[in-house]
Amino acid sequence: MKILISSRGGYCYGVQRALDIAHDAASDSQGPIHTLGPIIHNPGVVNRLAEAGVSPVDKPSQVESGTLILRTHGVTPQVIAEAKERGIRIVDATCPYVKVAQEKASSLQQQGYLPIILGEHEHPEVVALVANAGERAAVVENAEELKIGTVKGKKVGVVVQTTQASGNLAALAARLAPACRELLIHNTMCNATQKCQDEALKLARKADAVIVIGGRNSANTTRLAQLCAEVQPRTHHIEDVEELQPEWFAGAGTVAITAGASTPPEQMDAAARWLEDNSP
């Protein structure tokens, strides 16, 4: 069996940076250290950080003192204000690409555009983008969701959740352009996501089966698995190598392996070892 491992899979720049920040905080800080939500969608990594003294909380009100680390998705200005009011030290690990998206969302509102956020309604990154874009902002997950009457003849600005697929943005732009008086699109998709998706699709086209590793509640990994499944229906999204089943790879001459941005890259090597040991 030929095994193709993505060179772009696993921790992206923002996640690696956030983990480094959390580990530095664990060794330098006095008092309790918390992350606002799990630092990444990977239970194993979250457990190891907890052993190092960094544990997740759901909201600032659960923290009495010490340090609160903001994860890559970013938070609303209200959350930062609440933490500051409580005298909690904030360590901001928001990914710099997400910060740019937040700044663009805020600038749309200041420049009088009707802000449209392309992204998942309840995703924390999108919630923070909406908070930056102001109360006129609308969220759509795809072009079909857009109510065209709400943008007709208006000055519309778009900001994109960093992990969106480029096809989704292209479809929204095509729907908006003929309807709006003016259209400004900030393509705030992150390069890391796009490169990981492109590489995964390249490998998936050459493979008879695909393994995508990462948390099931990770938007980034779920989208990666969806895209791979479109070109190779024998795509399997797993959280852990232990989930792999030999029958998934029956008759497969080539298997591609990739991983979402919150997956330690060594898990791709572990999947490759499993295939070598278990392939028929």
CB of 14 to ligand SF4, least distance (A): 3
d(CA 222, CA 195): 16
Interface pick for ligand SF4 out of 108, 190, 252, 272 (rule CB under 6 A): 190
* Coil/strand/helix, residue 36: strand
CB of 70 to ligand SF4, least distance (A): 12
Q: Is 209 in the site for ligand SF4 (CB under 6 A)?
A: no
d(CA 231, CA 278): 25
| x-marked contacts with ligand SF4 along 39-78 as a string, rule CB under 6 A | ---------------------------------x------
CB of 238 to ligand SF4, least distance (A): 20
Q: What is the DSSP string of 164-226?
A: --HHHHHHHHHHHTTT-SEEEEE----HHHHHHHHHHHHHHHH-SEEEEES-TT-HHHHHHHH
Assess whether 125 carries a catalytic annotation.
yes
Q: Is 197 in the site for ligand SF4 (CB under 6 A)?
A: no
Residue at 157: amino acid letter: G
User: Residue by residue, what is the 3-state secondary structure of 81-148?
Assistant: HHHHHCCCEEEECCCHHHHHHHHHHHHHHHCCCEEEEECCCCCHHHHHHHHHHCCCCEEECCHHHCCH
Interface pick for ligand SF4 out of 14, 37, 60, 124 (rule CB under 6 A): 14
In the range 236-265, which residues lie near ligand SF4 by CB under 6 A? 261
Question: Which residue sits closest to ligand SF4, CB atoms considered?
Answer: 14
The active-site residue, picked from 120, 125, 141, 239, is 125
Contact set with ligand SF4 (CB under 6 A): 12-15, 72, 95, 97-98, 162-163, 190, 192-193, 220, 261
Q: Which residues are catalytic?
A: 125
